Amino acid sequence: MLGKVCIKPDRMCLVEADAAEKIAVMKQADLGLDLTTKRTRKREFLDEMGRVVPWRALVDLITPYAPEGRRGRPPFAVETMLRIHFMQQWFTLSDPAMEEALHDMPLFRDFAGLNWETRLPDETTILRFRRLLEEHKLAPQILAVVNELLGAKGLMLRTGTVVDATLIAAPSSTKNASGERDPEMKQSQKGNQWYFGMKAHIGVDAESGLVHTVRGTSGSVNDVVEANALLHGEETEAWGDAGYQGVAKRPDAKDGVRWNIAMRPGKRRQLNKTKRVEQLIDQLERIKASIRAKVEHPFRVIKRQFGHVKVRYRGLKKNTAQLHTLFALSNLWMARRSLMGAQA
């Protein structure tokens, strides 16, 4: 046993020895001497994402806006801070929780390119990096860089778009400094229930299901209002559920785009399947539904895989910036097999 040697062992001595042994193991991990053989799911996830994220292109995007550090302590490398920022999105960590995780978990330090002997970013440093991205509107550009990579690999086509929206809940509590709920978050009804928060509107590639456009609004904004803003301009076909009825007649409708909107559920239930024409109509609705299903995949990734089920910040601007980053990372996650296969 490592640590303190006890001539007459007692409970305190054994505790100190156990702590010393844990520290030694942590130091071994940071020196590349980790004897652990189990490949945990978290380690596998970080290994895969570390391989598919276009780090060099993203660092080149952010570097012109990063502080030069001519005074005081030298700043952390842009790639280190970007890796930390992405881990926050993947594991739903606040700034203080991310700082603690870097101290507690060798795996996180290793992914960020840090070790036992280097200083670690504190929560203020992590916060400032996020604000740097928000101030210069870099989150939408991160999504654009990722999609440029995916397009170059032939993973994103441009002929069709599926649109949809999902509700992201916001805290309804008024127990805060201002004594009120976030004024930019509104209520929205879905079915017979009311939800308080914002909406994430996305346009995805109809072939691959990868997100190319993201819009954030308050929860009270109707889905159809944002529909035409979710098109990239090169598609000829667009799909949406029954909530997008009338989208082709709106003032912002784009020429050359044919909308394929789902029939309202009540009207579809009234179809007489014994009649050939109405049977064909029902089959057409099934085909449209199979295409629209691709838009649900990115929502599942950010909510189930990344755990983003509630807004983290106050105001639409910050939360919409986070959504751009989340959907950029969800694109990489969904396309990771193809990207890693291309690297092999």
Dist. CA 200–CA 166, nearest whole Å: 5
For the cut 70, the answer to whether the pLDDT of residue 128 exceeds it is yes
SS3 content of the chain, % helix, strand, coil (to 5): 50, 15, 35
Give the CA diameter of the chain. Answer: 92
Dist. CA 276–CA 289, nearest whole Å: 20
Mean pLDDT of all residues in 298-308: 96
Identify the helix (H) or strand (E) that includes residue 258. Answer: strand 258-261
In this prediction, residue 171 carries a pLDDT of: 85
Owning domain of residue 115? 43-135
pLDDT band at 23 (very low <50, low <70, confident <90, very high): low
Residue 188 amino acid letter: S
In this prediction, residue 1 carries a pLDDT of: 42
| Residues 79 and 164 occupy one common structural domain | no
H-assigned helices in the chain = 11-30, 41-52, 55-62, 78-91, 95-104, 106-112, 123-135, 138-152, 223-226, 265-269, 276-292, 296-300, 316-334, 336-343
For the cut 70, the answer to whether the pLDDT of residue 9 exceeds it is no
For the cut 90, the answer to whether the pLDDT of residue 11 exceeds it is no
For the cut 50, the answer to whether the pLDDT of residue 2 exceeds it is no
| Residues 242 and 108 occupy one common structural domain | no
pTM, two decimal places = 0.86
Cβ–Cβ under 8 Å, residues 328 and 143: yes
Q: Which residues, listed in sequence order, are joined to residue 202 by a DSSP beta bridge?
A: 164, 214
For the cut 90, the answer to whether the pLDDT of residue 116 exceeds it is no
| Residues 173 and 130 occupy one common structural domain | no
| Residues 179 and 301 occupy one common structural domain | yes
In this prediction, residue 18 carries a pLDDT of: 57
| Residues 99 and 50 occupy one common structural domain | yes
pLDDT band at 65 (very low <50, low <70, confident <90, very high): very high
Work out the mean pLDDT of the chain and round it to a whole number. 88
Q: Among 210, 7, 121, which Cα is nearest to 130's?
A: 121
Look at 133-137, 141-145, 248-252, 339-343 and tell me which has the smallest mean pLDDT: 339-343
pLDDT band at 179 (very low <50, low <70, confident <90, very high): low
pLDDT band at 15 (very low <50, low <70, confident <90, very high): very low
Q: How many domains does the chain have?
A: 3
In a domain, 92, yes or no: yes
| Residues 207 and 290 occupy one common structural domain | yes
pLDDT band at 216 (very low <50, low <70, confident <90, very high): very high
Q: Among 219, 203, 213, 216, which Cα is nearest to 169's?
A: 219
| Residues 173 and 70 occupy one common structural domain | no
Look at 51-55, 247-251, 269-273 and tell me which has the smallest mean pLDDT: 269-273
| Residues 73 and 98 occupy one common structural domain | yes
In this prediction, residue 71 carries a pLDDT of: 67
Residue 171 amino acid letter: P
Cβ–Cβ under 8 Å, residues 305 and 13: no
For the cut 70, the answer to whether the pLDDT of residue 134 exceeds it is yes
In this prediction, residue 191 carries a pLDDT of: 76
